[in-house]
Amino acid sequence: MNTLFPVTRMLDAALNGNLNNWNEADGSSGRTPRADILEGEKEFRVLMDLPGVRREDLELSIEDQTLWVKAERTESVPEGFEARRNERAGHVTFSRTFSLGNVVNMEDINARFENGVLIITLPKSEKSMPRRIEVK
């Protein structure tokens, strides 16, 4: 069993406003990267470990309210060396999906990549923000 499923389900539930109804949205191919999901007053943040991945080998896209994160890492044995033991894969594909629902402002999503960690900022939509109702 993949121990990351609860994290994915929790993000789905948080983004859809229902932590009691977790929906699995993991569409993984190769390896599923670990992720932390944080919720602030006005945004969600996803911090995802992608060790050894270069910025140019990283792809983020949104389709049908689903955020797709794909990355590749290719490593080879340096010239003049021979692999005596190879426990790390030479070519690794990372893939992860998150269902965003309607609580995220899709137009303002942004991402940055620092020291092997992808940081995705998902601003909450105005509809999902708490608001005060004036009593007349």
Give the pLDDT confidence score for residue 14 in this predicted structure: 62
Residue type at position 18: N
Is 74 within a domain?
yes
Radius of gyration of the chain measured on its C-alpha atoms: 18
Q: Which domain holds residue 74?
A: 5-125
Asked if pLDDT for residue 24 goes beyond 70, the answer is no
Distance (Å, whole) CA 79 – CA 73: 18
Give the closest residue to 119 by CA, choosing from 46, 51, 57, 66: 46
Domain containing residue 38: CATH number: 2.60.40.790
Can you give the pLDDT at residue 19?
Answer: 44
Q: Between these two residues, 68 and 92, which has the higher pLDDT value? A: 68
Structural domain contains residue 51: yes
Mean pLDDT of 93-112: 91
Q: Is residue 135 part of a domain?
A: no
Question: Which amino acid is it at 53?
Answer: V
Q: Between 122 and 88, where is the model more confident? A: 122
Task: Provide the number of structural domains found in the chain.
Answer: 1
Evaluate whether residue 134 is within a structural domain.
no
Residue 23 lies in a domain: yes
Calculate mean pLDDT across residues 2-28: 50
Asked if residue 77 is part of any domain, the answer here is yes
pLDDT computed for residue 20 by the predictor: 42
Structure confidence by residue, pLDDT tens digits, 41-54: 999 999 999 988 99
64 compared with 89, residue with greater pLDDT: 64
